[in-house]
Each structure stands twice: as structure tokens, then as C-alpha cells.
Amino acid sequence: MSYNNLNVLHWHIVDAFSWPVESKVHPELTEKGAYTTDMLYPYEEIKKIINYAKSRPIRVMPEFNMPGNTFIVSDAHPEIMSCLNKQPNWDKFGPEPPSGQLNIADLRGSFAFDVITEYSRLFVDLGFHMGGGSLNLEWWKEDPVIELYVCDHPGESIESLVKGWFNQTVGKIQEMGKVPFAREDSMLNFGYETKNTTIVEAWVSEDSVGKVVDKGYRAIATSWNRHYLDCGHGSWLSNFEGSSWCGPYKGWQKIYSYNPRAKITDPAKQKLVLGGEVALWSAQSDETTVDRNLYPRAAAFSEIMWTGSIDPNTNSTKDIGKVARRLTTTDSAWLHAGIWQSRCNPCGASAIPTYNYTLRTHYD
């Protein structure tokens, strides 16, 4: 990251499948929710990662996605959950199995408050990402606890409960001295609006950035069809033969050709676009594939975000051929350094011999 001036590690640290980060307030989360005892992040290891990044200098901002995609919390606290692991039509209840999200009527805010309070102290960055993505109101409409709550409280609805939950969550983040970050789902899809101190991750489409700044929010551009780097490797679902939901694979050229400010003509609104990020979800990535899934595409992303699409020497759009040559030079240097990124082209290593390999199986 530091080689390419990527200065923020947005760490989506928990999801539906695992709670790998140590909790001293709720130790049962990792005791019951981590994959294994050696697949978790103790406090001290997280502090080392934060300090290691700081020396480069890179910020580490955590994301604790709530109230959606929280099935794993049910291993420790099923009493605060809704619509757990609905089968076989799981796609009616969420973007991926297993389904489950926090019950926004039962114990409203208390668990989320505990999470925000504890991890705001562990992660020293000023930003705290509360998630807010992948919500499905139909989940809550089928929950008997929420249905009873709405019946007992005239004037309340699922929509008002969602708005109330986010209001409380944003308030708690600010109370902890942090700047709230949220996915656009919570800002644009449910009629919820908060103070424009919240920074919004615009990911649903290339037009999302414009929609976010039109509401007065600051935006981070993360359009899935430009910036999602884990796509195009097929589905990880064993009973689905199609491609990943966000396919096809995004080459560095597609990433480099995207300017999130291009359709925003108001200079004041252009300034609300703070930057962008490329996302690598780990459903099909680990330490053996992370380098080649990130680079050189993240390098192309960094250059276009820092320098823009216009060549200051010619006042015209940058020559993509020259960009390719720069990335090729980087290709060679990184391979020498032991960073096993994907090659930009067949002659990607100008200073390293190129070999062709054939894999064979020999039978005696």
C-alpha cells in the first residue's frame, strides 16, 4: 500500500461468517464466533497492525457492519437477532447465506453501543464505519417480536425503527469523538437522513457518488462495477454454477478509466468527493492470492485518484499506453521484491526473463 500511496486500510473486520476480533466486553463473540482459536485478532495483534501501518503512514479504519450481515452474533446472542438462516430461499432475506440481522426493536441500540464504545477505543483512527449495507426490510416484517412492537406503538413502522436505529448509532459514534462512515444503502434506500458529518461509501453504481453529494454528504467512490477486485472468479456458492454477482473481472484499464467526479459539474459538490477505494472481499482471497488480486489494479487506481485523468503537460486525457509502461516498470520491481502481483502484459517483467510453464501429471 505504501509503495502506491494508498493511505487508508478500510478493514471490514466482521461479517456473517465470523467474529474474529477479540472483545473484552463480549468475549463470547470470539469464543463462539471465530472460525478457530488461531483465526482471530487479539487486542495486541491489532495494535501492532495499527502501529505498523502508521509508520508507513497508513490509517486503519474499522468497519463493524450493523445491523445487517450479523448472523454470527446469533452464536452468542440469538435473543437479539431476526430471521436467522432462512432456508432454502435465503436470497429472499439477504445477499448471501446465512441470513440474519440485529433485531432493531429488541434491546434497541445496546449491543451496537457496546461494539462502538469498545472498538472506538481500540482503533485510534478518527473514522468509524458502522456499515449499514445489505439490509432487507422484509426480514424485520416477518419477525414476530418486531411485529408486536409496531402493533404496541402506534405511529411506529419498520422504516421509522430503521431511522431511529441509525440516528442512535450515528449519535453514539459522534459521542465517542469519531467521524461516522456508512454505506449508501442506509442513506439513500430507506429515506434515512442524518447530519452531513457522516461520510458515505458510494458503491451501488457509478451514479451513486452524484446522488450522495446531491444530499450534501461527503462521498468515497467505491462503485462495485469499477472498484470491486474480488469479482470474476466464479461463485463461491457450491450449488450455483454461474459467475459471481459482481462479475466480470475488472482489468486495470477499466479501473483507470473511471473518474468519479466526471458527471458532477458543481465545483462545490466536486469537493465533497473525498476520494475512492478499491475493495477486496475475502470470500475467495487469502494470503496466497491477495497480492495478485490487488496489484497492479490497485496501483492503477491509486494513480488515477491522486493525479486525475488529465495530463497536465498536454491538457488532454492521459495516454493509456504510457500508463501501461509505468505499470510494467512497477511490475518488474515488485516481482524482484517478492510481491507476486499479476502481470500487466506478456512482457510485464522487462528486467526479468519471461518463461512459459506447462503443468503435467506423470503416471508410472
**219-231 tens-digit pLDDT:** 999 999 999 998 8
Q: Which helix (H) or strand (E) holds 335?
A: helix 320-337
Nine-digit cell string for 308: 486525475
The stretch 294-321 carries a mean pLDDT of: 86
* 12 three-class SS: strand
Q: What band does 278 get if pLDDT is binned at 50, 70 and 90?
A: very high
Give the pLDDT score at 265: 93
Highest mean pLDDT among 46-55, 186-195, 351-360: 46-55
Is residue 30 scored above 60 in pLDDT? yes
Of 23-32, 173-182, 232-241, 314-323, give the lowest mean pLDDT range.
232-241
Nearest to 322 by CA among 336, 306, 340, 309: 309
Is residue 327 scored above 70 in pLDDT? yes
Q: Which residues contact 329 (CB under 8 A, 6 or more apart)?
A: 350
The stretch 240-247 carries a mean pLDDT of: 72
Q: What band does 84 get if pLDDT is binned at 50, 70 and 90?
A: confident
**Cis omega (within 30 of 0) on the bond before 88?**
yes
Nearest to 145 by CA among 93, 111, 107: 107
Nine-digit cell string for 206: 457509478
The stretch 129-140 carries a mean pLDDT of: 85
Nearest to 322 by CA among 260, 278, 256: 256
How far is it, in rounded angstroms, from Cα 23 to Cα 269? 40
Nearest to 186 by CA among 111, 129, 225, 148: 129
The stretch 275-289 carries a mean pLDDT of: 88
Nine-digit cell string for 287: 494470503
Of 74-83, 136-145, 246-255, give the lowest mean pLDDT range.
136-145
* 236 three-class SS: coil
How far is it, in rounded angstroms, from Cα 4 to Cα 298? 8
Q: What band does 201 get if pLDDT is binned at 50, 70 and 90?
A: very high
Give the pLDDT score at 239: 63
Nine-digit cell string for 26: 463480549
The stretch 294-307 carries a mean pLDDT of: 91
| pLDDT above 70 coverage of the chain, percent | 88
Is residue 119 scored above 90 in pLDDT? yes
* 179 three-class SS: strand
How far is it, in rounded angstroms, from Cα 341 to Cα 284? 16
The stretch 47-64 carries a mean pLDDT of: 96
Average pLDDT score, the chain: 86
Residues constituting the chain: 364
- Answer with the residue of higher pLDDT: 138 or 294: 294
Q: What band does 356 get if pLDDT is binned at 50, 70 and 90?
A: very low
Read off the pLDDT of residues 342-355 as tens digits, 9 standing for 90 and up.
877 665 444 444 44
Q: What band does 109 get if pLDDT is binned at 50, 70 and 90?
A: low
How far is it, in rounded angstroms, from Cα 310 to Cα 327? 18
Asked if 43 and 24 touch (Cβ cutoff 8 Å), the reply is: yes
Give the pLDDT score at 352: 42
Q: What band does 275 get if pLDDT is binned at 50, 70 and 90?
A: very high
* 67 three-class SS: coil
Q: What band does 359 get if pLDDT is binned at 50, 70 and 90?
A: very low
Asked if 128 and 178 touch (Cβ cutoff 8 Å), the reply is: yes
Is residue 151 scored above 70 in pLDDT? yes
| pLDDT above 90 coverage of the chain, percent | 49
Is residue 156 scored above 70 in pLDDT? yes
The stretch 139-146 carries a mean pLDDT of: 85
Is residue 88 scored above 90 in pLDDT? no
Q: How far apart are the first and last CA of the chain?
A: 47
Give the pLDDT score at 94: 65
Q: What band does 241 get if pLDDT is binned at 50, 70 and 90?
A: low
Can you give the pTM of this predicted structure? 0.89
Q: What band does 358 get if pLDDT is binned at 50, 70 and 90?
A: very low
Give the pLDDT score at 62: 97
Asked if 267 and 255 touch (Cβ cutoff 8 Å), the reply is: no
The stretch 285-301 carries a mean pLDDT of: 89
